[in-house]
Amino acid sequence: MEDLEYLPDPVDVEPDTFWSSTWSGWALLGGVVILAGMTGIRFIPPEWIETLPPWLGIVLGGVLPQLLIFGFPLLARTKAAESQVEWPTVPEVMLEAAIGIGCSVGGLFLLGGFLAVLQQFIPDAEFGGSYSEAMSQAPPSGAVLGILLASFTLAPVCEELFFRGFLLNALRQRMSTPVAILLSSAIFGAVHTFGGWHAFAASLLGLMFAGVYVWRKTLLTPMFMHATNNFMVSLVLLAQMFMNQGTSVIGISPEPDAADYRIGEVYPGSPAEEAGLQPGDVITHIDEQPINDFSDLTKAIKSHKPGVRRTLTVRRDEETLIISVIPVSVKELRELPQE
């Protein structure tokens, strides 16, 4: 099959000590289609997802997309002698692990400091995203622990193979390396976004991973960087989960990318379900206190002890509802029977 006419033919790029490949325009277009599909998953109506068993939702929404972006570069790369996979030696793995972990720790300190300074000028910026905050409020169930485990084991390998091994190299064949780094990092941030500021922070991480990849010319280093980053984030989330066991919750999570507080999921058997809250409902006030986003709602609910009745103002389609709900602790929510 001939290459796409409107894309220039691939040219030689600087060899990669771990993996050197060339990419056709069709492969690049296929990668774009895959990324569009991964992004589109977030727009699946929550009520459809609720009909699936939790394990199936994790497989379809998490494991399969990761395996897809892992397998696509292996199948789409040009089968030439110089593009064969080169397995690293143990000393190479240990060296790149040390460099990757060190770069990740140092980079996270620099990135955290930069975002902290930036937030002083933009107080409303939520760099962590609503999803991370919702995870920190969730009970440490088997599903949650499985997601965290996959985030620093499966995801770094699959995503670095795709975003740096495939996408960055394919772009470097068609434009200057600095432009390819910026473009691939922006795409990495867009796919990982749970809000505009979170996309910005994820893009900065992508810049770090891509820069180290171009420096070391092996995917091992950004894989270890990616794994270290996600492992540290997972530890923080786990600590927050256990610290939040006695705090008040009503059993809902937000809809990603929503500008307001729109409910994405209502946990089975939760106070929110008993009160009649539904996915798609927009919470505008709690006890007459305005709610603009997930952070506002979390702070408002946590400000009172479990068992204290709260009054929610909810917008459902064109109707405004007043709903009363009695929060429970995170620990109690985990122990509630699910129908």
Got the DSSP string for 219-281? THHHHHHHHHHHHHHHHHHHHHHHHTTTSEE-SEEEPTT-SS-BEEEE-TTSHHHHHT--TT-
The better pLDDT of the pair 48, 198 is held by 198
Q: End-to-end CA distance of the chain, in Å?
A: 53
- Type of residue found at 27: A
> What is the mean predicted confidence (pLDDT) over 182-196?
83
CB 137 within 8 A of CB 125: no
Q: pLDDT-based confidence at 185, cuts 50/70/90?
A: very high
Q: List the domain boundaries for the chain.
A: 25-242, 248-335
Summarize the confidence of residues 84-113 as an average pLDDT: 86
Sign of dihedral through CA atoms 177, 179, 182, 184?
negative
Euclidean distance between CA atoms 237 and 138, whole angstroms:
10
Q: Which two tokens stand for residue 208?
A: 């770090």
Highest mean pLDDT among 125-129, 206-210, 236-240, 268-272 belongs to 206-210
112 confidence band (pLDDT: 50, 70, 90): confident
Do 194 and 130 form a contact (C-beta atoms < 8 A)? yes
270-313 pLDDT, tens digit each: 899 999 999 889 999 998 888 887 778 888 888 888 889 999 99
Burial class (CB in 10 A: 0-12, 13-18, 19+), 166: buried
Residues written for the chain: 339
Q: How far is 223 from 56, CA to CA, in rounded Å? A: 27
Instruction: Tell me the average pLDDT of the chain.
Output: 80
The answer to whether the CB of 135 falls within 8 A of the CB of 237 is yes
* Calpha distance 181→196 (Å, rounded): 20
> Which residues are CB-contacts of 91 (< 8 A; sequence separation ≥ 6)?
none
> 3-state DSSP call for residue 12?
coil
Q: Is the pLDDT of residue 14 over 60?
A: no
Measured distance CA(70)–CA(294) in Å, rounded: 33
C-alpha to C-alpha distance for 211 and 265, rounded to whole angstroms: 37
Whether 180 shows a pLDDT value over 60: the answer reads: yes
Residues 97, 224: contact at Cβ < 8 Å?
A: yes
Task: Give tens-digit pLDDT for 140-157.
Answer: 667 778 888 888 999 999
**Residue 45 — pLDDT band, cuts 50, 70, 90?**
low
Q: What is the pLDDT of residue 331?
A: 77
Q: Determine the 3-state secondary structure of 310 from DSSP.
A: strand
Q: Please give the structure tokens belonging to residue 299.
A: 């702070």
Instruction: Write out pLDDT tens, residues 234-277.
Output: 888 888 777 777 788 888 888 766 666 788 888 888 899 999 99
What does the radius of gyration of the chain's CA atoms come to, in whole angstroms?
22
Decide: helix, strand or coil at residue 63.
Answer: helix
**β-bridge partners, 252:** 266
Distance CA 33, CA 335 (A): 42
Specify the CATH number for 248-335; select among 2.30.42.10, 1.10.1060.10, 2.102.10.10, 2.60.120.200: 2.30.42.10
CA dist 117 and 173 (Å) reads: 36
Q: Judge whether residue 131 has pLDDT over 60.
A: no
C-alpha torsion angle, residues 149, 154, 155, 156 (rounded to 10): 110
Cα 118 from Cα 110, distance rounded (Å): 12
Number of H helices and E strands in the chain, helices first, is 15, 8
Q: Which two tokens stand for residue 36?
A: 């569009």
